[in-house]
Amino acid sequence: MQMPKPKVRKKILDSAIDEFLVAGYRRASMRNIAQQAGITVGNIYAYFSGKDDLFETIISPVLESVNKLVKMETVGSTPSIDLFAETITAVFLANKKQFLILMRNSAPKFANVRVQLTALVRERLIIDLLPKLPAQAQDPLLAEALAVAVIEGLLNIFRRYGGDDERLHHLVDEFLKSIFNNIDTRFI
């Protein structure tokens, strides 16, 4: 039996990242991953127990970072919208493809991650933004709609910013200013 080699494992992971990014979890094929890695399908199983194991290995660093952000809310220190956007942008920049896989092409087991992020933003808006609005606008549905807009807008920027990190940060700042009509988001 051949010993697992770090170089082969890395080829598998790189090929799997590309496959999951393009095809999504459901349509991703172990055969395509093996072909892209230049190995047999059977050889993948010397490194990973299956598609789920491979997927979880790929997204685990991003998932861990996102979970830390979500847990901030559960301990009573919901981050401001600015801090949230800054943190989620840093998570994205550290693992771009894996982040997009988790948010857009994920396994059903991880579909709730986006929902959790949206809920985090929603709670911040209910706590800090709604009380500043006129009474007729203090509807939690407004906070929910804005939260969805924030998450979807950030994901759209992440997917399409073109690789220029300075542009990315500028777009995120301008997006938040626009969506919140120049309200100081450090306190939202």
Same domain as 68, residue 40? no
Same domain as 148, residue 85? yes
Q: Determine the structural domain holding residue 122 and report its residue range.
A: 59-187
Same domain as 77, residue 44? no
Same domain as 110, residue 86? yes
Q: What is the pTM of this model?
A: 0.86
CB 188 within 8 A of CB 81: yes
Same domain as 111, residue 25? no
Write out the chain's pLDDT in tens, 188 residues.
555 688 999 999 999 999 999 999 999 999 999 999 999 999 999 999 999 999 999 999 999 999 888 776 544 556 788 888 999 999 999 999 999 999 988 888 898 999 999 998 998 889 888 888 888 888 999 999 999 999 999 999 999 999 999 999 999 999 998 988 756 666 56
pLDDT computed for residue 183 by the predictor: 66
Is 176 a domain residue?
A: yes
pLDDT computed for residue 68 by the predictor: 85
Same domain as 109, residue 150? yes
What span, in angstroms and rounded, lies between the C-alpha atoms of 125 and 187? 10
CB 114 within 8 A of CB 103: yes
Same domain as 165, residue 134? yes
Would you mind telling me the total number of residues written for the chain in this entry? 188
What span, in angstroms and rounded, lies between the C-alpha atoms of 143 and 61? 29
Is 54 a domain residue?
A: no
The tally of domains found in the chain comes to 2
What span, in angstroms and rounded, lies between the C-alpha atoms of 99 and 14? 14
Same domain as 78, residue 170? yes
Read off φ and ψ for residue 139, nearest 5 degrees.
-105, 125
List C-alpha distances in Å: 43 to 19, 35, 59: 17, 11, 21
Is 110 a domain residue?
A: yes
CATH of the domain at 32: 1.10.10.60
Same domain as 101, residue 180? yes
Same domain as 106, residue 69? yes
Is 164 a domain residue?
A: yes
Same domain as 67, residue 17? no
Same domain as 126, residue 70? yes
